[in-house]
Structure 1
Amino acid sequence: MIPKVIFILLILVAAAQGDFPDDPKPCKYGDAECIGKLFEYFVREKHKGDESIGLTSIDPLPVKKIPITVGSDSPVNIDLVVFNGKVEGVSTLKFVKMKGFGKDIAVNHEIVSQSDSLIFTGPYNLTGKVLLLPISGSDVCNITLCVVVKFNNLYNDKELSDNMNKLLNENVKELYAEISHLIDKGYAAIVRKVVTKVFATYPYEKFFMN
């Protein structure tokens, strides 16, 4: 199972000065294939950051906070917060759909990407119910978007924690279906900040041919 992560970006930025780097070449406005390759170049070759275009490190990608709350009408009724964490594997992303990226920057731009494995780790706080079973804990979690989940120290009891992690992974398809849109939303907020900083340093129109 290869999860897709969808980012909807609304980018409003100031103008700046600069010349487009020699490699890669700028794209035509709205050229989805070229823009996808351009994004893949930057996540692959510049994932450690590039001050000249205002790009901060994106692999690992720092995550200050991602809240995931699912209501009581769902079989996954949880209140989960992961904070001060990181996402690894961003440099392996493939961009399978690009929508927008015309001359008008002040519209929604849609990016659909996929990866064989994105690993999200960090301290967590979790309460709620999964498949009617109560769940609670706080420690360090590992959410690998292949999809595998592991929450250390659930219930402050290793045996109960191991059993619940086994149950979560046996039902991971159903679990991910309930929370995937919230994970996407959290990632989108992070990526939006990265992209907005790039366009504030290096103007949007410089990425395209006139």
Structure 2
Amino acid sequence: FDLNNKKINIDLTVATLIIKSKYVIDGKILILPIKGNGDCSLNLTNADLKVNLDYELVKKGDKEHMSVTGSKLDFHLGKLDVYLDNLFNGDKALGDNTNKFLNENWEVLAKDLGPFVAEGISAAIKQIAAGLMDKIPYEDLFPVSV
């Protein structure tokens, strides 16, 4: 915590982070033409996250609370496993081979997907921090020593 400059820096190591969502794709991933829509699962293993939050103090009633004004996330993955359901209109053989190819080339795929994954993780961390900051006054989080 850098209270003078209103910054919070957090380093986290997450053993496993599973992201599930829906996807729609019609284009290329790496060099592979790919088309489909359905469920998506991303399993991030041994993710090192560096979170930087900027904040300002805002008055709520008679107390000051922190309010996030900006966030930045850098991360490094130990491994990425991806599964895209219903590729190529449900063609199982083509879908299985595509998922296999993506997982064999996970490092390159992680570079392509990295900014999108970082944006999602950053938004989640910012939302959690904002919820905490909204409920707990600044002086309760960082009491002044007497």
Q: What TM-score comes out, normalization by structure 1 length?
A: 0.48
The answer to whether the 8 A contact 1:103-1:205 is kept is no
Cα RMSD, aligned residues only: 1.8
- SS of the aligned residue for 1:174 comes to helix
Structure with the larger RCO, 1 or 2 (CA within 8 Å, 6+ apart):
1
The answer to whether the 8 A contact 1:122-1:140 is kept is yes
**CA deviation profile, 1:160-186 (whole Å, cap 9, x unmatched):** 110100000000011112222321122
**CA deviation profile, 1:177-207 (whole Å, cap 9, x unmatched):** 2222321122111221221122111123311
- SS of the aligned residue for 1:209 comes to coil
Verify: 1:209 aligned to 2:108, yes or no: no
Count of residue pairs brought into register by the alignment: 109
Equivalent in 76, 82, 85 of residue 149 of structure 1: 82
The answer to whether the 8 A contact 2:30-2:109 is kept is no
Cα distance in 2 for partners of 1:205, 1:119 equals 35
The answer to whether the 8 A contact 2:82-2:99 is kept is yes
Cα distance in 2 for partners of 1:203, 1:140 equals 40
Q: Which residue is 2:118 aligned to?
A: 184
Per the TM alignment, residue 103 of structure 1 is displaced from its structure 2 partner at its CA by 4.7
- SS of the aligned residue for 2:94 comes to helix
Q: Which residue is 1:126 aligned to?
A: 25
- The runs of 4+ residues in structure 1 deviating greater than 6 Å are none
- Structure 1 pair 127/113, CA: closer, same or farther in 2 (3 Å)? farther
Cα distance in 1 for partners of 2:93, 2:9 equals 43
Q: Say which is worse superposed, 159-168 or 125-134, in terms of deviation.
A: 125-134
- SS of the aligned residue for 1:148 comes to strand
- Structure 1 pair 178/208, CA: closer, same or farther in 2 (3 Å)? same
The answer to whether the 8 A contact 2:36-2:86 is kept is yes
Q: Which residue is 2:101 aligned to?
A: 167
| Aligned-partner residue type, residue 100 of structure 2 | K
- SS of the aligned residue for 1:115 comes to strand
- Which is greater in Rg? 2
Structure with greater proportional strand content: 2
Verify: 1:117 aligned to 2:50, yes or no: no
- Structure 1 pair 163/137, CA: closer, same or farther in 2 (3 Å)? same
